[in-house]
Structure 1
Amino acid sequence: MNQSPLLLNDEQMRKFITEGFLILKTDFPESFHHALTAELNKVYDAEGNPGNNLLPRIREIQQVFDSPVITGALTSVLGPNYMLHAHRHGHYNAQPVAGGWHKDSYWGYSRMRNHHPWWAMIMYFPQNTPLELGPTSVLPGTQNYESRTFVSDEVAGEAFANGEAGTFALIHYDIWHRSTPNVLGNARFMLKFEFMRTAAPAAPTWDNQATAWSEPSDLALPIANHETLWEETWNWLSGSVGSIANSRSEDANKLNELARELEDQFEPTALNAAYELARYGSKGVAALLAGLHHQSADVSRVSAYGLSAAGEEAVNGLIAALEHDREETVYHAIFALGELGQFAEAALPALTSLLSHPSATIRTAVADALGMIKSTSAAGVDGLITCLADKDAQVRFTAGLSLSKLGSTAAAAIPALEAALDDEDRYVRAHALEALRYIGTEEAKDLLIKSLFNARWCTTTTSADTF
């Protein structure tokens, strides 16, 4: 019997927003984890890493992701209709040296990374994992940085996902992380699963008691603090887009200072300036639009984050920026419009016109934005149908994810999704299945069931046991 999700509390959400991760633990008995680890060893020894087939190959893992601790954590951060993404991986670490700090890509592709938690990962440790066994580590508070912002690999403040069997790290998808040395040499498994939000928040989905943002009680980050960014994220998770706009009185000296700080080479300083400018109404938006058009792509990108938090007042300037002749400026403007959601519905004609742009990066960004704007008009769905036939795989699989966000309003895309089920790319096929599931009409369900039956895979058939 499924149990109700154990939702995060306010303090846990504050920690997630500021630090970018939480270390939690499921409550399965030790015997469950012992059996799961034994099965992992058996599969890896005999067959190798099952990759994206990890979940059907070892069916007990689904019990983990149905547990109320994990469903509650994911519901709290991503909303109740979150998606378990088709990419998953079982990491095996027996190396006595640390891995390199990195952010994960999107299945081999790059995209502008969301500060709002549209994506999250769970890293699950099925065996007891002391520090000596090489758990994954994260650098708290770095989920919002494109650059490393630190020089040495050995940086103070590193946090470890060590603990008893059943420990898991819930992390913001874009946090900097690495593997640590396994000095014991015993098998160490970490099961990595990705999850996606399918709708912008309309209200808090955690056990929310406090309305206003406040910092966690024991905040101590190794790089920098970001009070306005955190407050804006808390408000966005509470269902309020553009909540910080027009919350500061005009101060010419401060505005000029913040505009200069957009160019700071230390990314945390520039980010703080961008989000603070979003508070200053039309004058702040003007400074951010100037930053969007800056010759430095880094300044342009940081300014886009501020514009994504500046509310409806930023929309007209962002639409105008879609006609810029520099690809980075257009790309960053599309991102900000997507984050502004339904405020940006007026941008749909200009966005869909970019689906003939020669850059696949631009077309992919448009496909992403069309799902986030979630228009009630047919223009968004028609645009995504076009994307499903694009020559670039990333455009096609992003379209499937966006159609999942549109749900039943995207029923017109069903024939195009049926064709996508035969696509050569595994994620185009997977995202088409997800889109059919979230559209949810009888026609969509029939196609979904037929495709899944045709692709049925016996979880116990191996080369050593064929029938």
Structure 2
Amino acid sequence: MQPRQPRLLNDEQMRQFITQGYLILQTDFSEAFHRTLVEQLNAVYEKEGNPGNNLLPRIREMQQVFDHPTVTGALTSVLGEHYMLHAHRHGHHNASPKAGGWHKDSYWGYRKIRNHHPWWAMIMYFPQDTPVELGPTGVFPGTQNYESRVFEQEENAEEALASGKAGTFALIHYDIWHRSTPNVLGQHRYMLKFEFMRTEAPTAPSWDNQTPEWQAPTALNTPIAQHADMWRETWNWLSGKVGSLADTAAADAGRVAELAEALASDDEPAALNAAYGLARYGAAGVEALLSGLNQGAGRVVSRAGYGLAAAGAAAVPGLSAALASEREETVAHAVFALGELRELASPALAKVAALMEHPAPSVRHAVVEALSMIGVPADTATGGLIRALQDEDVQTRFMAGLSLARLGSAAGAAVPQLCRALDDDNRYVRAHAAEALHYIATPEAKDALIEYLLAARWCPTTTPESTFYP
């Protein structure tokens, strides 16, 4: 069947996603489709338990959901045309009359420096009619870039609920604060969570873009705070511009001093505004951010890293120098910022790659990601990632596969090591190695991938009740 044209998001929807961190959308499958889907889910969960990461091959109809033009259009708009459906997926069954706790998701049980830019997104799909009483997922608008929980109450009037007819789904920034809400009806409620990753940095808008310049959405729903500089920078980044805040504010030593002080504020939204504000003030702003990176305590370091990631080419020399710091957190966030600066940071790539020998896993995690984001020279990046595939730390190994997928055909030299990674003990090392072979797509990579997938073939109709016939 010929795939249908994706229904791309429009400018207003993208503005809403950038500011509030989510959109509630709807597919148009028939009632019969969703009824069959729920019947299958009931049978699998009752007889076999939660299929976990095998949800998609176990319930084959789910692939139709992710081929739906509203879904492909939303994901293309936010993550680019060649986004990856990640190997971790989970069907959440909620029958509890009590609300779940507010949280940000980990990365399938692991931790890393979180991206403000949309490198990751999630879809939470509801296959049954989900009124408020059935316990839809709740999200707190505008909280996607807050490390801490900045609201105190469990119940908030501003909470947005993914309630609606069967086929309703929430497209969320990966890091938004969310929870399950009470299911007071006592009926089955499924939320099917799938994760997606951007494999290419944006070079132009991938949504239905009509207005090039940033403007706030007509319906602005961010009850905690407004972040004009961060939002504008994200819009520009999605439009293919790197370091777009650099030198956009006139010199003002007094204002730079105020922002530098605010970087250490206990008010996280204010501190984030300070970080992005400093990115606008050229050399003086970069100097203040580098001071926070090199000498700051606690979250000042990470906030400075986000600001430097938006400060353009002027930040690269100082970030490169920070790679020699004895402070683990300084090095990790310097590497992170260089990665976000992409090709502007190419002069530092060799120094970044050399940090694959750093003793701290957190630094190596940042290095693996940055190598693919900087990307050039490709042979240096690929060499570092081949080394990462052999690392003793499992997270370093599985992040290497994702990064090689981003490099695509330029990473052809990694194919032999990726083939060895297909036998790794860790499920995500194996899965990401397979994805990397898919995106590298050389004849050698394709042959290896097909051989691996044939051996791993899943039969969705083989169950304990039907092991081989009919």
Shorter-chain TM-score range: over 0.9
Counterpart of 1:31? Answer: 32
Inter-partner Cα distance in structure 1 for 2:94 and 2:354: 47
Unmatched 5+ residue regions in structure 2?
A: none
Q: Which residue of 2 aligns with 1:237?
A: 238
Q: Post-superposition shift, 1:297?
A: 2.2
In 2, Cα distance between equivalents of 1:371 and 1:97: 43
**AA in 2 matched with 1:430:** A
1:24·1:169 contact (CA, 8 Å) conserved in 2?
A: yes
Aligned match of 1:257:
258
In the other structure, the counterpart of 2:43 is: 42
Name segments (4+ residues, structure 1) moved above 4 Å. none
| Partner Cα separation in structure 2 for residue 259 and residue 410 of structure 1 | 41
Distance in 2 (CA, whole Å) between partners of 1:114 and 1:211 is: 23
Look up the match of 2:207: 206
Matches within 5 A, 1:178-197: 178-197=179-198
Quick one: distance in 1 between partners of 2:281 and 2:244? 12
Structure 1 distance, partners of 2:60, 2:437, is 24
- One-letter code aligned to 2:13: Q
1:336-355 mapped onto 2 (5 Å cutoff): 336-355=337-356
Is 1:151 paired with 2:146?
Answer: no
Q: 1:315 is aligned with what amino acid?
A: V
Code of the aligned partner of 1:452: L
Q: RMSD value over aligned CA atoms?
A: 0.7
User: Equivalent residue for 1:92?
Assistant: 93
Q: Which secondary structure state, in structure 2, belongs to the residue aligned with residue 95 of structure 1? A: coil
Map of 1:379 onto structure 2: 380
Alignment-mate amino acid for residue 195 of structure 1: F
Distance 1:296 1:161 in 2: 38
Task: Tell me the CA shift for residue 346 of structure 1.
Answer: 1.1
Give 3-state SS (helix, strand or coil) of 2:211's partner. Answer: coil
CA distance in structure 2 between the partners assigned to 1:443 and 1:242 by the alignment: 37
- Amino acid paired to 2:164: G
Look up the match of 1:314: 315
Aligned to 2:362: 361
Kept in 2, the 8 Å contact 1:98–1:178? The answer is yes
**Alpha-carbon distance in structure 2 between the residues aligned to 1:295 and 1:232:** 24
Structure 1 Cα separation of the partners of residues 123 and 65 of structure 2 = 11
The one-letter amino acid of 1:31's match is A
Displacement of 1:457 in angstroms is 1.5
Q: How far off its partner does 1:31 sit?
A: 0.9
Contact 2:259/2:274 (8 A) holds in 1: yes
Offset of 1:355 from its aligned partner? 0.8
1:82 positional shift:
0.2
Q: Distance in 2 between matches of 1:369 and 1:58?
A: 36
Partner secondary structure for residue 121 of structure 2: strand
1:165 maps to 2:185: no
Task: Provide the C-alpha distance between the structure 1 equivalents of 2:318 and 2:155, rounded to a whole number of angstroms.
Answer: 43
Match of 2:36, as an amino acid? Answer: A
Q: 1:131 is matched with which residue?
A: 132
Report the Cα offset of residue 225 of structure 1.
0.5
Q: CA deviation at 1:454?
A: 0.6
- Farther off after superposition, 405-414 or 350-359: 350-359
2: CA distance, partners of 1:450 / 1:218: 51
2:14 aligned with 1:5: no
Q: Is the 8 A contact 2:142 2:221 kept in 1?
A: no
1:105 aligns with 2:106: yes
SS of the equivalent of 1:233 reads helix
| In 1, Cα distance between equivalents of 2:298 and 2:450 | 45
Instruction: Give the distance between the partners of 1:293 and 1:269, measured in 2 at CA.
Output: 21
Q: Is the 8 A contact 2:378 2:410 kept in 1?
A: no
For the residue of structure 2 that corresponds to 1:24, the secondary structure is strand
Native 8 Å contact 1:376 1:409 kept in 2: no
The Cα shift of 1:153 comes to: 1.9
Q: Contact 1:25/1:168 (CA < 8 Å) preserved in 2? A: yes
Measured after TM superposition, the shift of residue 155 of structure 1 is 2.9
Match of 2:389 in 1: 388
TM-score by length of 1: 0.99
Corresponding residue of 2:219: 218
User: For residue 431 of structure 2, what is the amino acid of its counterpart?
Assistant: A
- CA distance in structure 2 between the aligned counterparts of 1:156 and 1:312, rounded to whole angstroms: 42
Contact kept, 8 Å, 1:156 with 1:222, in 2: the verdict is: no
Q: Secondary structure at the match of 1:305?
A: helix
**CA distance in structure 2 between the aligned counterparts of 1:14 and 1:34, rounded to whole angstroms:** 34
SS of residue in 2 equivalent to 1:293: helix
Assess if the C-alpha contact under 8 Å between 2:286 and 2:311 holds in 1: yes
SS at match of 2:295: coil
Q: Is the 8 A contact 2:305 2:337 kept in 1?
A: yes
Shift of 1:321: 0.6
Please name the residue that 1:290 is paired with: 291
Query: How much does 1:152 deviate?
Result: 2.4
The C-alpha deviation readout for 1:176-202, integer Å capped at 9, x for no partner, is 000000000000000000000001100
Q: In structure 2, how many angstroms separate the alpha carbons of the residues matched to 1:349 and 1:153?
A: 47
Q: CA deviation at 1:426?
A: 0.2
| Identical-pair percentage | 64
Aligned to 1:435: 436
TM-score w.r.t. the length of structure 2 is 0.99
Q: Aligned equivalents of 1:355 and 1:203: distance in 2?
A: 32
What's 1:266 paired with?
267
The CA distance in 1 between the partners of 2:363 and 2:243, in whole Å, is 24
